[in-house]
Chain A
């Protein structure tokens, strides 16, 4: 997808700091509807922090985010209200490295909870939708199980279903397969690829270069809190231009 006129989401000059130590410097990114973007780079590059600033889990100290006609300003530029935040988060799905499922609730209840309490759906409607989403990620059979009784791959797909049930306009994935055995990672990657094929707008922090090359439209390479290089996925991974990107990709491919 090449530069359509109206981005769905636009982050401008995002800065993130922890206790005076800046980890993300002036990162900007425009995301078109339906676009799949992979964020890659060495650990500590600020990829996850940047991703988490998009739904304000990591409030940026400065910079702005424009999404769905609203502008969200970093802490130093005025910040955002609680109500604004809830609206933003309801429209953006998030999948975490450690799944973060609710351990006291069954798979189905995990997917039902936010539908009822964030979107105000009826219990029956939410249940119906949850079953649908669980089937969608290939988990029709685990609906009544607790997360601890499911494999890692199943847990992560439950987490994806939990996010999808809220009809997000964008899905954020924070190293969704890093905590998984390769076999289970594949199940999750297949699910993500299908989502991408269905037209979901996705931002994916990942170390899976195959996924980045094959599924993403665009790859953004970050190092030391800055965007070093970005471009069409396959081309950037095959033929990186920047020395820092070349070094990183050589190391990753050599593994």
Chain B
């Protein structure tokens, strides 16, 4: 078998890997926000549950977590496809990680910004919207992009519950052709090619942000 043939066999999984990663990241980006706010709350009944959820989701290996979602939760929703289960499972893990990234971003906005805003008499909500979030959003871009790359790699575990991503097709191709080494090197190259542009964006963003915020 030639490299081209292996590549053709795996190419069908690229779309699935990318969609799965972006969908899980999207779930995490949205769900992570209230989780981060709860985690920073001065109210213990918000803070402690948020902390528990974040720590549990981060402590369980993605592989184990996916099996739990697929077999336990999936049993109650028989219509859930492997892809949907993977989006839900990885999305929840992403929510936990992104919540911590958001929290760090919010914490990185100096107290003086809150003081300056409240000293002018603008409300808490406006302070968040106009002063704190725009700065935190910039601070969050590089670590969030780094996490996106990590998630791209973690998405490979979805193959074990039957999501037909790059890794799933690589398993198949290796079994059929018995050229496991070549096949998985190609799979690795595909993951590398997908993550490189994200890494580039992260680096550029980091530079621009430092300049913009005068850090």
Which residues on A sit within 8 Å (CB–CB) of B115?
A: 57, 96, 100
Which residues on B sit within 8 Å (CB–CB) of A159?
A: 116
A side interface size, CB within 8 A: 29
> Looking at A55, A103, A146, A159, which has the most chain B CB atoms within 10 Å of its CB?
A103
> Looking at A117, A149, A162, which has the most chain B CB atoms within 10 Å of its CB?
A117
Which residues on A sit within 8 Å (CB–CB) of B122?
A: 113-114, 117-118
- A-B contacts, 8 listed (Cβ < 8 Å): A96-B112, A100-B110, A103-B212, A104-B212, A113-B120, A114-B120, A118-B121, A166-B121
B: interface residue count bin: 20 to 34
Question: Which residues of chain B in 183-214 are interfacial with respect to chain A, using CB atoms and an 8 Å cutoff?
Answer: 211-214
Give a binary string over A29-57; 1 marks a CB under 8 Å from any B CB, 0 the rest. 00000000000000000000000000101
Question: Which residues of chain B in 51-71 are interfacial with respect to chain A, using CB atoms and an 8 Å cutoff?
Answer: none
Which residues on B sit within 8 Å (CB–CB) of A57?
A: 115, 118-119
Would you call A166 and B213 a contact (CB within 8 A)?
no
Give a binary string over A54-95; 1 marks a CB under 8 Å from any B CB, 0 the rest. 010100000000000000000000000000001111101110
How many angstroms from the CA of A101 to the CA of B131 in the assembled complex? Answer: 10
Would you call A86 and B116 a contact (CB within 8 A)?
no
Would you call B121 and A113 a contact (CB within 8 A)?
no
Pairs A-B, 10 closest by C-beta atoms: A148-B214, A114-B120, A90-B121, A100-B116, A100-B112, A89-B121, A94-B119, A118-B121, A117-B122, A117-B126
- Interface residue B138 (Cβ < 8 Å from any Cβ of A): yes
- Interface residue A153 (Cβ < 8 Å from any Cβ of B): no
Chain B interface residues (CB < 8 Å from chain A): 110, 112-113, 115-123, 126, 130-131, 134-135, 138, 211-214
Which residues on A sit within 8 Å (CB–CB) of B119?
A: 55, 57, 89, 92-94, 163
- Interface residue A191 (Cβ < 8 Å from any Cβ of B): no
Which residues on A sit within 8 Å (CB–CB) of B113?
A: 100, 102
Which residues on A sit within 8 Å (CB–CB) of B110?
A: 100
Would you call B135 and A86 a contact (CB within 8 A)?
no
Q: Could you list 13 further interchain pairs (A-B, Cβ under 8 angstroms) beyond the known A100-B113, A102-B113, A104-B212?
A: A57-B119, A86-B123, A87-B121, A90-B120, A101-B116, A102-B117, A104-B135, A114-B121, A114-B122, A117-B130, A148-B213, A148-B214, A149-B214
* Chain A proximity of B112: nearest CB distance (Å): 4
- Interface residue A176 (Cβ < 8 Å from any Cβ of B): no
Within 8 Å by CB of B214, from A86, A90, A118, A147, lies A147
Which residues on A sit within 8 Å (CB–CB) of B118?
A: 57, 89
